[in-house]
Amino acid sequence: MFKKLLIANRGEIAVRIIRACAEMGIRSVAIYTEPDRYALHVKRADEAHFIGDDPLAGYLDPRRIVNLAAETGCDAIHPGYGFLSENADFARICTERGLAFVGPSAEVIARMGDKTAARTAMTAAGVPVTPGTDGNLADLDEALSVAETLGYPVMLKATSGGGGRGIRRCDSAAELRQQYPRVISEATKAFGSADVFLEKCIVDPRHIEVQVLADRHGNAIHLFERDCSIQRRNQKLIEIAPSPQLSDEHRQHIGDLAVKAAKAVGYENAGTVEFLVTDEGTYFMEMNTRVQVEHTITEQITGVDIVREQIAIAAGEKLRYAQADIQYRGFALQFRINAEDPKNDFLPSFGKITRYYAPGGPGVRVDTAIYTGYTIPPYFDSMCLKLIVWALNWEDALDRGQRALADMRLQGIKTTATYYQEILNNPEFRSGQFNTSFVPNHPELQHYSEKRQPNELALVIATAIAAHAGL
């Protein structure tokens, strides 16, 4: 097992990895740029090293990070998610320097990161994919021709895209002409590649993803699925495990497809195979070659520590579980509490947290890196914590989610917490029958009324009295 591991990330996922290292007897090394000088991951790691004033540059410099890992005596690097986690060059440099990369090989990252190559690999393995182009589009004229054959609506996607970026739905030839240069520009800026491809748009699907684990000894298993249909502009908001919308037969089928996909590309470590599901069929969408933000709910229903398994697999150990060992129990939901104002078109709300109280009690988990007095910087993702709830049945999980969201106190910034309470009250959501159109089809849920707690009202009154008295 490793003796020392560098975490090439920040925030809550860095804290999560630090905890896994502590349980495994591995020394953790954090990195930080100037805005993160007082961040929680810096405080919690065994060591922390400054990597520059620029908020982002240090986190995106693979050679600097690898050199630092070597200089500090690390034998492994965990990339977390985002930043360099799906950067094949980063994985390759780690290997060249004799450091274990906690993830799949550079070759697999490159192959799955190229969405057209991934589609080709899945087709060869017998995993169904959405109808679309076999390779990248040459130009707009080819895009228009393919779209005419497929039939509108179509999805125009960046080949190297991810995180909801570089994706546009086009309902007509006019929209495709308008969106084509925009996606090219966005893809070039965000991913350094102008390659795009076209797929038939699967209208109102359920977004179902399957967690897989695979080792270098040929073993691969799945840890069941997560339902990520509650999303806004391709960004997930609430995730659920397992999906309340799948039968046991469909659950087994989609899990088997995910394992087949992993084995087809020689996958190693933790990964996620994402599907679009309709009444007509199940279609491969993409494979994420890293730990997912929502890995927490899979841990809650299976009892498997995914981050710990990632590290053990990277160290060369065999999977500790066979597929028959993996069972799930109950339902878990994860709420991404973002520093955004849903009442103002989800405008970011960065700033200082004046008060933070984490919810607790049975079946409640919080993964975060915030604290009272912490200032959320404007340079990174707006997610400030992940609230996870678990219960034995669907209705109890929803009620526990409501209670936990109400328990939480996060003041000084606007968040999505109250908006999620509105979603949990919605009869369509509570029925367990929803798809990716839920959020855009329910704009009325954003028009909630602000509810002040009694102690908050007392604070407002006291402040007003003090101001009037000139105190």
Q: Please, which residues bridge with residue 351 across strands? A: 376
Residue 380 contacts by C-beta under 8 Å, 6 or more apart in sequence?
10, 11, 55, 56
- CA atoms of 220 and 212, how far apart (whole Å): 7
Residue 456 contacts by C-beta under 8 Å, 6 or more apart in sequence?
411
Q: What is the DSSP letter of 291?
A: -
Cβ–Cβ contacts within 10 Å for residue 130, how many? 18
Using CB atoms within 10 Å of the CB of residue 344, give its burial: 0 to 12 exposed, 13 to 18 middle, 19+ buried. Answer: exposed
CA geometry: angle 137, 140, 145, nearest 5 deg: 80
Cβ–Cβ contacts within 10 Å for residue 389, how many? 27
- CA atoms of 258 and 461, how far apart (whole Å): 56
- Identify the sign of the CA torsion 448, 449, 454, 455: positive
- CA atoms of 136 and 130, how far apart (whole Å): 15
- The interaxial angle of helices 140-150 and 173-191, nearest 10 deg, is 120
Q: Please, which residues bridge with residue 346 across strands? A: none
Active site members: 290
- Helical residues (DSSP H) of 34-158, grouped into ranges: 40-44, 62-71, 88-96, 106-113, 115-125, 140-150
